[in-house]
Amino acid sequence: MIYAFGAQNYFSFREGMSASFQLSAKVPVSVSQGRRISTVLGIKGGNASGKTNILKGLAFLQEFISDSFSLEDGDGLGFDTYFGIKDESNFFIDFKVGDVRYLYELTATPFSVVREALYKKLQRKTLIVERLEDVIVERSNEFKSLDFILLKSNASLISTAVKYKIKDLPIDFLNIVEYFGNMSGNVTRVGVVPDESMFKRDTASAFYYKVDRAFEFAKNIIKNSDLGIIDIQIQKNELSAGKVQYVPMFLHKVGKSNDTRFLTAFDQSSGTMALYRRLAMYWMVLEDGGVLVMDEFDQNCHPMLLPSLIKLFTDKETNPKGAQFIFTAHNADIIDELGKYRTILVSKEDGESYSYRLDEIPGDLIRNDRSIAALYREGKIGGVPKL
């Protein structure tokens, strides 16, 4: 579970940005559901304000921590500084795996690590390991086996240690890599993945065909979304050379009679098929207790459907493992669904982005009995495009 993450001198954020899921005791129970860490966080702002860069920052940390050892020598880490300035960039992520809370810190240039550190946060903050460039300068005794690994300038210590498969290494690093492996979505460290290639219709159908619970999950949501679909079936077709094709067929009611007709995926709207594909990811993240990162999650989706998708993560019955959902959206009404404790606004001035969570705005402008979306549209709380 993520508590907070952030970056400084990262793409359009020069002074820095941070995103916090933490909820204080002052947050109403109707919002917190008794949790001290939110399971949803929405990001709003004008076009090119820097919203996606926040998600890219999280995706960068996920990929760098868990899989950067796969980078070739000389490859960049996968980020850029504010307008290419030569200063170092700083990153952090505060997260929990199982019963252990960690703080990870990274200082880097776009091509090499300057400093990297991992702390455990139990009764107090305790350093596990710290590196400066390619040398480990501090480590706890239980991690002495790290003395025998060769560090790469463009790879994380955690990813490197796991790839070396060191026998005497405590389980922490492997648990961290597995946790970040459960992060999914349409955002990578270098940008947004097109919806069609993120989870194609064929691969989603193959997944649904093999995992009944996921298929029932997706069918129930689609049938309840007033799309005219009363059932979905998946046909398994044997092709030449041993290949298999999975074809979804959507059953529609015809008129006021009890007559029904099957239609193919090509006869469905782009919104229906986007929902069909994406629900496979939603189910996997909820099942694993992972993190879903989605840019413009409201794209091709009716506004009245958005609250029900968010509720999948806020409701403890559908999200017993505390999976988290962080997203950007253009729909303004979504702010009222999230409230001030779960909404980050992003603005840009003179080419520099800055962000803030709505409960950081002083005074009583934002109240629980007033529509926040109305204030947003009027430009009173920032984060709107200047037209």
DSSP states of 315-366: -TTT-TT--EEEEE---TTHHHHH-GGGEEEEEEETTEEEEEEGGGS-SSSS
Domain that holds residue 89: 2-182+289-377
**143 pLDDT higher than 60:** yes
Residue 387 lies in a domain: no
Kindly tell me if the per-residue pLDDT of 98 is higher than 80: yes
Asked whether residue 12 carries a pLDDT value surpassing 80, the answer given is yes
**Residues 16 and 133 both lie in one domain:** yes
pLDDT at position 373 is 82
Extract the tokens encoding 133. 């460039």
Which among 254, 276, 298 is the end of a domain? 276
Find tokens 């993450």 and name the residue.
5
Q: Judge whether residue 295 has pLDDT over 70.
A: yes
Domains in the chain: how many in total?
Answer: 2
pTM for this model (two decimals): 0.93
CA-wise closest residue to 310 among 44, 33, 41:
41
Residue 271 pLDDT: 86
Can you read off the two tokens belonging to residue 159? Answer: 């990813």
The band of 383, judged by pLDDT with boundaries at 50, 70 and 90, is confident
Mean pLDDT of the 193-201 span = 65
- Answer yes or no: is 284 within a domain: no
In this structure, is residue 370 part of a structural domain? yes
The whole-number average pLDDT for the span 232-236 is: 95
Shared domain for 168 and 306, answered yes or no, is yes
Q: Tokens standing for 313?
A: 């993560």
Domain final residue pick, 227, 245, 276: 276
pLDDT at 201: 56
pLDDT in tens, 265-279: 999 988 888 899 999
pLDDT value at residue 199: 61
CA proximity to 99, closest of 175, 23, 181, 24 = 175
Residue 145 CB: number of other CB atoms within 10 A? 15
Shared-domain flag, residues 84 and 178: yes
